[in-house]
A and B are shown apart, each in its own frame.
Chain A
Amino acid sequence: KAGVTQTPRYLIKTRGQQVTLSCSPISGHRSVSWYQQTPGQGLQFLFEYFSETQRNKGNFPGRFSGRQFSNSRSEMNVSTLELGDSALYLCASSLGDRDYNEQFFGPGTRLTVL
């Protein structure tokens, strides 16, 4: 079974630009969660989508948004990029229909903001 895939793996943007990251979950998984990983803040939850609806949300500004398509693939968008948005962005998929679903992470997208 193929794992979680994320594209692109690396991105370099400049301040003020916007960026879209993509995540394809494991086949059959309906939940996709996004996390930001930085050396200073560690792994922080951004949001979760389940069946095309945002089900949980972390404490990030509105510049961070996402969506999920009918095939469960998800995209994350960051607008008006700031230097502090430089991070590894990870997505994780799970079945999403029970309290204890295991989450499987992708390799991440490394975003650098100059």
Chain B
Amino acid sequence: GENVEQHPSTLSVQEGDSAVIKCTYSDSASNYFPWYKQELGKGPQLIIDIRSNVGEKKDQRIAVTLNKTAKHFSLHITETQPEDSAVYFCAASLTGTASKLTFGTGTRLQVTL
């Protein structure tokens, strides 16, 4: 089955700096790659996603890049703010099974003042 690896497990940045989280996947048949943010006591919230026919997608301070050849994708957060502090998960799903997500192990991001 699909396997998703995520790095780093923890990341501390100063407010205003950029943060980058990287994930690799194993199954070349994966075609959907969402990113989730989970705050304490809440369920994961979708923040951005990318499909395999797109190389990059941006939404304000957040961007995701996908390299299908290398089977890796990354989340970039620019101008970080304290409210960006949370656990971030990458995920992947195979063609035709978008509702069956395989998650990475999560990255705890801390934005310090």
Contact = CB atoms under 8 A, between A and B. Distances in A.
Given A4-B43, A107-B42, A102 B49 contact: yes
A64 interface: no
Contact of B100 (A4, A56, A107): A56
A90 B43 contact: yes
B43 A99 contact: no
B32 A103 contact: no
B25 interface: no
Interface stretch (B11-19, B69-77, B102-110): B102-110
B96 to A, nearest CB: 6
B46 A103 contact: yes
Nearest to A99: B98
Nearest to A98: B98
Prevailing SS type, chain B contact patch? loop
B31 interface: yes
Contacts of B36: 105
B43 A108 contact: yes
A33 interface: yes
A96 B99 CA distance: 7
B89 A48 contact: no
A86 B26 CA distance: 29
Contact of B41 (A31, A104, A107): A107
A23 to B, nearest CB: 11
A102 B86 CA distance: 20
A18 B95 CA distance: 35
B100 A100 contact: no
A103 B41 contact: no
A58 B95 CA distance: 16
A84 to B, nearest CB: 18
B101 interface: yes
Interface of B: 1, 31-32, 34, 36, 41-46, 49, 51, 89, 91, 95-106
Interface of A: 4, 31, 33, 35, 42-45, 48, 50, 55-56, 58-59, 90, 92, 94, 96, 98-108
3 closest Cβ contacts across the A-B interface?
A105-B43, A43-B103, A56-B100
